[in-house]
Amino acid sequence: MAYRVCFVCTGNICRSPMAESVFRARVAEAGLEDLVEVDSAGTGGWHEGDRADPRTVSVLDEHGYDSEHIARQFQPSWFSRLDLVIALDTGHLKALRRLAPTEEDARKVRLLRSYDPAAPDDLDVPDPYYGRRDGFEECLELVEAASAGLLTAVREQLGGRAA
């Protein structure tokens, strides 16, 4: 059974699809695509059915990442099939933990930047939506910096499953 990771931001058109694309690439580079499923969603449904923000698509394309994406809203029922729910900021973390049906489900929710050992005390990935393109570049840098640590954590979980 695959290990399932879902990245969550506000509308699922900027940060979470970017994190999904980057992490999916890291999983593929590690040869784990048959063992790890990567997904994303938003806490709200405002953009459901939309493609990712054009600035997200542009930054991902320029850096060699897949940018195919359709936005959707996170559903509490998903907790039962997910192993890890990655929040992009503390607001998402709190919202997702409130949605969690059980304490066990709430413990599945983690902040992305908590996997970056060089991250400062503020673990939020800032929302680039209302800014300029450079905010999307910064978002990508923060996501990439945390992805290696997240991959290490997922590998540890996969090793624990095999034991």
CATH number at residue 147: 3.40.50.2300
- Catalytic site includes residue 6: no
Q: Which one of 4, 51, 97, 127 is the catalytic residue?
A: 127
Q: Catalytic: which of 6, 15, 26, 89?
A: 15
Whether 15 is catalytic is yes
Question: Does the residue 60 lie in any domain?
Answer: yes
The reply to whether 134 belongs to the active site is no
Task: Record the pTM.
Answer: 0.96
pLDDT one-digit tens code per residue, 145-154? 999 999 999 9
Do the domain assignments include residue 92?
A: yes
pLDDT score for 156? 95
In a domain, 77, yes or no: yes
Q: Which of 9, 24, 39, 113 is catalytic?
A: 9
| Within-domain flag for 36 | yes
* 163 part of a folded domain: no
Number of domains in the chain: 1
93: pLDDT strictly greater than 90:
yes
On whether residue 121 sits in a domain, the answer given is yes
Domain encompassing residue 41? 3-158
Q: Encode pLDDT of 50-60 as tens digits.
A: 999 999 999 99
In a domain, 30, yes or no: yes
Per-residue three-class SS string for the chain: CCEEEEEEECCCCCHHHHHHHHHHHHHHHCCCCCCEEEEEEECCCCCCCCCCCHHHHHHHHHCCCCCCCCCCECCHHHHHHCCEEEECCHHHHHHHHHHCCCHHHHCCEEEHHHHCCCCCCCCCCCCCCCCCHHHHHHHHHHHHHHHHHHHHHHHHHHHHHHC
